[in-house]
């Protein structure tokens, strides 16, 4: 066995400093602070078109079973945003993990928003974004 101890102290700190630093738990953020940060980041980083597409998707998917293609068609007709732009934004929501639906391999799968996306859409609606 080595004579070296497993307990080492920085040469510039006291043994008491090292003991206190290693036993104090790190402060953990609350769920509310994490959610508030997430909403503020999403509000700042999502484009106005993405916000519109997300909110309209939430409204439509609440009452209708639609594929991503059908959802793009409905959102485009109701919002006046070109179909190709809506489709592109829906795919960006899929990439962000907010929307789930079919793709080239699994065609015809119904689209749905994740629980996080539903919370975000409700927040954006309430905030008037």
How do residues 42-69 score in pLDDT, each as one tens digit? Answer: 888 888 999 999 999 999 999 999 999 9
Name residue, tokens 């945003």: 81
Task: Please give the Cα distance from 62 to 79 (Å, whole number).
Answer: 17
Q: What is the pLDDT of residue 99?
A: 93
If you classify domain 48-129 with CATH, what class do you get? mainly alpha
CA-closest candidate to residue 129, choices 80, 68, 56: 56
Model confidence, pTM: 0.70
Collect all residues with Cβ–Cβ distance below 8 Å to 43 and sequence separation of at least 6. Answer: 51, 123, 124, 127, 129
Name the band, by pLDDT with cuts 50, 70 and 90, for residue 28.
confident
Whether 116 contacts 93, CB under 8 Å: no
Question: For position 4, what pLDDT does the model report?
Answer: 47
């Amino acid at each position: 066995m080595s004579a070296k101890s497993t307990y080492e102290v920085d040469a510039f700190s006291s043994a008491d400093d090292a003991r206190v630093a290693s036993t104090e738990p790190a402060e953990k953020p609350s769920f509310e602070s994490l959610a508030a940060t997430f909403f503020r980041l999403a509000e700042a980083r999502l484009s106005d078109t993405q916000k519109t597409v997300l909110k309209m998707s939430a409204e439509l998917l609440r009452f209708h079973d639609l594929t991503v293609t059908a959802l793009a068609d409905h959102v485009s007709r109701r919002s006046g945003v070109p179909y190709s732009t809506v489709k592109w934004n829906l795919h960006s929501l899929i990439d962000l993990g907010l929307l789930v639906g079919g793709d080239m391999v699994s065609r015809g799968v119904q689209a749905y928003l994740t629980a996080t996306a539903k919370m975000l859409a409700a927040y954006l609606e309430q905030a008037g974004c």
